[in-house]
Amino acid sequence: MSTDSQQHSRPLNRQDYKTLSLAALGGALEFYDFIIFVFFAVVIGELFFPADIPEWLRQFQTFGIFAAGYLARPLGGILMAHFGDLIGRKRMFTLSILMMALPTLLIGLLPTYAVLGIGAPIALLGLRILQGAAIGGEVPGAWVFVAEHVPARRVGLACGTLTAGLTAGILLGSLIATAVNKSLTPAEVSEWGWRVPFLLGGIFGIVAMYLRRWLHETPVFAEMQANKALSQELPLKTVLHNHKGSVLMSMLLTWLLSAGIVVVILMTPTYLQKVHGISPAEALTANSLAILALTVGCIVYGRLADSLGSGLTFMLGSLLLAGASYTFYHSLATGTDMLIPYYMLAGFAVGIVGAVPYVMVNAFPAVVRFSGLSFSYNVAYAVFGGLTPMLVTVWLKSDVLAPSHYVVSLSGLGFAIGLYLWLRPARQA
C-alpha cells in the first residue's frame, strides 16, 4: 500500500484527537460569545435605548443590532478566508478568537443609555459588527482546519465533531442564561447580572485563544506553501470564475442548515410559549435537551458521510428531518405529553447539518478551499439566516404550523441534493 493510501485510510491518531478537541472547544466558546446576545435581548433593549420609545420599536432596534452581526459575517469571512488561503489557516483561526473575545468583553463593560446616551447603542452596534466578522471567519475556517488535518476517510467525522462543538456553544449560552435568570431577581439582572455572561464570554475567548497556540498549521497548506502552489490570483476571483457549481451547491446546503438551526433550535422556544402556552422553564428545558440531541446528531451524521457517502447520508437524513419535524410540530396540537421526546428527535434530525461541511470542503480545491467555503456559507447564511425568522413569523399569522411546513420544504431540497450527489458523487479535492 502506498504512503498516500495509508494516509487516506489510517485511523485517527492522538494528534488528530488533540486537534479536533481543541478546535471544537474553541468553536463552542466562540459560538457562545456570538449567541449569548439573543438570550438577553429584552434587558439589553431596555438598557440601551430611550425609555420613552414604543416597546415594539425598542425590540426591533435590539434585534436589528443582533442581525447586524449576521450581515457582517460575509465581509469578515471573505477577508479572513482570503488571507487564510494565502498566509495560513492557523493564523486566521487564532485571529477569529481574538476578534470575538475582545468585543464580547467590552459589551460586558459598556455604559448604558442612561450614562452614555446615543453613544451606547452605537458602540453596541460596532462591537456586534466585529463579533459578526469574527464568526464569519471562525466557522468556515474551523471546518477547513480540521478537514485538512485528518485522513480523507475521516473528514466527515471531523467536520461533524466540529459542528457539534459549535452547537454545544448554543447549549452553553442557554444554560448560563437560565442560571443567571434563576439565581438573580429581575432587578439584579437589569442592574448588573446581564453583564456576567458577556464577561465570562470574554474570558472564555482568551482561554480558547491560548489553547489554540498548541495547534499546528494544516499539512495541506504547509505542503502547498512548500511547493509554492498557493493561489497566484485573488482566491475569490478563482472561486467565482471556476467553481460556480460548487458555490451554488454550498449555498443551497447552507439554506438547509439555516432552516434547521434557526427554526427548530432558535425560534421554537418562543413559538412554544406564544403559540402553545408552554411555560418558559418547560420550553427552555426541552430546547436544551433538543440541542444536546443535535450535538450527538452532528457527530453521527458526520460519521455516516464517511461510511455511506454524502448522497445517501443526505437522502436518509432529510427524510428523518422531514418526518421528525412534522411529528413534533403537529403533536403539539394534541398536548405536550410527548414534547421532550419529539423535540429531542427533531433536534437529533437537525444533526444532518453536521454533514454539510463534509460536502463543502470536498467541493473546492485546497488552493481556494477557505475562500470558496467561506463565501458560499457566509453569504447564504446572511440571506437565509436573516430572512427565515421574518418569513416564518409572517407565515405564522395564517398558519400555526408554518415552522413545520418550512422545515419539511427544505428537507425536500436536502433530499434532492442528496439524490444529485448520489447519482454524481462529489468530486474529492
Every domain range in the chain assigned CATH 1.20.1250.20: 12-230, 233-429
User: Other CB atoms closer than 10 Å to residue 203's CB: what's the count?
Assistant: 15
In single-letter form, the type of residue at position 335 comes to G
CA distance 242 to 363: 12
Give me the pLDDT at residue 228, please. Answer: 59
Residue 103 near residue 124 (C-beta atoms within 8 A)? no
Instruction: Please write down the HEC assignment for all residues of 93-109.
Output: HHHHHHHHHHHHHHHHH
Per-residue DSSP letter, 308:
H
Give me the pLDDT at residue 9, please. Answer: 58
- Dihedral sign, Cα of residue 376, residue 378, residue 382, residue 388: positive
Predicted structure pTM score: 0.84
User: Other CB atoms closer than 10 Å to residue 207's CB: what's the count?
Assistant: 15
CA distance 428 to 232: 22
pLDDT per residue, tens digit, the chain (429 aa), is: 433 444 455 677 777 777 788 788 878 887 888 788 877 877 888 888 887 777 667 667 776 777 777 778 888 888 877 777 777 677 777 788 888 889 999 999 999 988 988 898 899 889 988 888 888 888 888 888 888 888 888 899 999 999 998 889 988 988 898 888 888 888 998 899 999 999 999 988 888 888 777 777 677 777 776 665 566 667 788 888 889 999 999 999 999 999 999 899 988 887 888 888 888 778 888 998 999 999 999 999 999 999 999 999 999 999 999 999 999 999 998 888 899 999 999 999 999 999 999 999 999 988 888 889 989 999 998 888 878 887 888 888 888 999 999 999 999 999 999 999 999 854 443
CA distance 316 to 298: 14
Q: Say which CATH superfamily domain 12-230 falls into.
A: MFS general substrate transporter like domains (1.20.1250.20)
Classify domain 233-429 by CATH architecture: Up-down Bundle (1.20)
Give me the pLDDT at residue 229, please. Answer: 54
Crossing angle (nearest 10°) for helices 55-71 and 14-39 = 160
CA distance 173 to 167: 10
CA distance 394 to 403: 11
CA distance 109 to 103: 10
